[in-house]
């Protein structure tokens, strides 16, 4: 048996022996000891565990074998028939994700590291402009783990930015000002990646102001139906709330079932969750959303277990539904577009979204949607099927 722990005598000022042992992915590790007895004892214990776990792996369950078979089949389909990814590679990737998750720190700590690293280099004017922008981001996401901030969250943050003072108070800020905020968040997450607190930079080229499309993107009703039917049971309620109540992702991943009242048909978004100037709001629950929520409703507890679980669950559902193009903030933007087109009351739609008035709504969600398509959207239910929509672009 070649892949076992072995003891080797070495010349070292402090240690006399080392143990060489196999690790995951075909790699080897070493551990040093001050005596032969300690090294032999460690090697023997390691090899006993290796034999024990090896026997357990030899009796792998039928469910695990099916999972491995499914993995190879789906990878082959995605790669056009050639399997280039091994199970070990997938497991190592999962482990890296877990390590990043447990190594991650709150955005507030990343911001402190970012400021500490750059403060001396900044001019007085730079400090005056950068610090308030960092603070505004931290007001909403300071207690979030850096690894849980996705590109969609950054898009949401930029979308919701409005002037806080002056004659334009409450109005959307310019794309140029949004770009300044994007640059600060982008630089801050470069620090997060460098320290291992995040794996990707969520302020990327796709949500960079000036690169994003002028009008928010939406999904077709048939795509939303496919997405919900493909979603796992622990995330389907959250996805439904996103598309049929327009709740921001940052609010959604903190939402508690105690704030979802199916009897009186409203969702309460508490002030401590929304953290926006408009504050607390109540969102009316439409009849089709009630049907999506009823099978999963609880007395209390988070609607979705964590931001990471929502992100992964949503990505899985998108892939299973075969949706090739995913617009940023697809749920909230689809809700706003179809709600405005179907109910034809700007004030009601703005209230649902948490806007102080309908000016932003008219500017951003002016896309024309055929009344029949808008009606179809609000008939998407757990048992409903979208059958008569063409695959072409909707009117």
Mean pLDDT of 50-67: 63
Yes or no: say if 27 and 35 are a contact pair by the CB < 8 Å rule.
no
Look at residue 73 and tell me if it is in a domain: no
pLDDT at 282: 93
The mean pLDDT value for 27-44 works out to 87
* 75, pLDDT greater than 80: no
Indicate if 27 and 128 belong to the same structural domain: no
Q: Is the pLDDT confidence value at 110 over 70?
A: yes
Q: What is the pTM of this model?
A: 0.60
Q: Are residues 225 and 292 in the same domain?
A: yes
In a domain, 387, yes or no: no
Total count of domains within the chain:
3
| pLDDT band, residue 215 (cuts 50/70/90) | low
Residues spanned by the domain of 159:
107-195
Would 117 be classed as within a structural domain?
yes
Is pLDDT above 90 for 37? yes
Identify the CATH number of the domain in which residue 346 sits.
1.10.443.10
Q: If pLDDT is split at 50, 70 and 90, which confidence band does 308 have?
A: confident
Check pLDDT > 90 for residue 354. Answer: no
Same domain, 252 and 323: yes
240 and 351 housed in the same domain: yes
- Give 158-192 pLDDT, tens digit per residue: 988 888 877 777 777 888 899 999 999 999 999 99
DSSP three-state, residue 104: coil
* Residues 243, 311 share a domain: yes
Instruction: Provide the 10 A C-beta neighbour count for residue 118.
Output: 15
User: Residue-wise over 149-169: b if at least 16 C-beta within 10 A, else e?
Assistant: bbbbbbbbbbbbbbeeeeeee
**Is 384 part of a structural domain of the chain?**
no
Q: Flag whether 322 is in a domain.
A: yes
Q: Is residue 1 very low, low, confident or very high in pLDDT (cuts 50, 70, 90)?
A: very low
- Check whether residue 328 and residue 245 sit in a common domain: yes
Q: What is the pLDDT of residues 134-163, one digit of tens each?
A: 999 999 899 888 988 989 899 889 988 888
354 and 260 within one domain: yes
Q: What is the pLDDT of residue 393?
A: 38
The candidate with the shortest Cα–Cα distance to 151, out of 112, 117, 198, 220, is 198
What's 16's domain CATH number? 3.30.160
Residue-level pLDDT at 363: 66
- Give the residue with greater pLDDT, 393 vs 337: 337
Closest CA to 370 of 331, 349, 392, 341: 341
183 shares its domain with 115: yes
| Stretch 226-253: mean pLDDT | 94
**Residue matched to tokens 């909707």:** 394
**Are residues 365 and 315 part of one domain?**
yes
The pLDDT of residue 125: 83
């Amino acid at each position: 048996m070649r892949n076992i722990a072995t003891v080797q005598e070495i010349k070292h000022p402090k240690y006399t022996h080392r143990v060489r042992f196999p690790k995951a992915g075909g790699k080897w590790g070493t551990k040093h000891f001050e005596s032969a007895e300690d090294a032999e004892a460690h090697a023997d214990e390691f090899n006993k565990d290796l034999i024990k776990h090896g026997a357990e792996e030899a009796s792998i369950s039928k469910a695990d074998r099916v999972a491995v078979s499914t993995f190879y089949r789906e990878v082959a389909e995605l790669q056009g028939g050639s399997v280039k990814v091994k199970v070990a590679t997938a497991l190592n990737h999962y482990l890296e994700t877990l390590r990043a998750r447990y190594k991650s720190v709150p955005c507030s700590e990343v911001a402190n590291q970012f400021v500490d690293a750059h403060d001396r280099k900044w001019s007085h004017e730079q400090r005056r402009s950068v610090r308030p922008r960092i603070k505004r981001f931290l007001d909403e996401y300071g207690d979030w783990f850096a690894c849980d901030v996705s590109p969609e969250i950054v898009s949401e943050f930029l979308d919701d930015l409005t002037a806080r003072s002056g004659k334009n108070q409450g109005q959307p800020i310019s794309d140029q000002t949004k770009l300044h905020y994007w640059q600060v968040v982008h630089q801050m997450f470069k620090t997060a990646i460098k320290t291992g607190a995040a794996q990707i930079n969520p302020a990327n080229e796709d949500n960079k102001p000036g690169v994003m499309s002028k009008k928010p993107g939406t999904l077709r009703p048939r795509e939303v139906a496919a997405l919900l039917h493909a979603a796992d049971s622990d995330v389907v309620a959250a996805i439904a709330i996103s598309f049929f109540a327009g709740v921001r992702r940052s609010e959604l991943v903190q939402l508690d079932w105690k704030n979802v009242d199916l009897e009186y048909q409203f969702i309460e978004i508490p002030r401590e969750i929304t953290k926006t100037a408009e504050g607390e709001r109540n969102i009316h629950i439409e009849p089709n959303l009630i049907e999506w929520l009823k099978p999963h409703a609880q007395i209390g507890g988070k609607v979705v277990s964590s931001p990471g679980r929502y992100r992964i669950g949503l990505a899985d559902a998108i892939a299973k539904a075969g949706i090739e193009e995913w617009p940023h903030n697809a749920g909230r933007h689809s809700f706003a577009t179809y709600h405005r087109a179907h109910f034809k009351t700007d004030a009601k739609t703005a209230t649902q979204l948490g806007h102080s008035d309908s000016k932003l709504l008219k500017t951003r969600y002016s896309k024309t949607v055929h009344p029949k398509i808008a009606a179809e959207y609000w008939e998407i239910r757990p048992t409903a099927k979208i059958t008569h929509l063409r695959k072409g672009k909707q009117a």
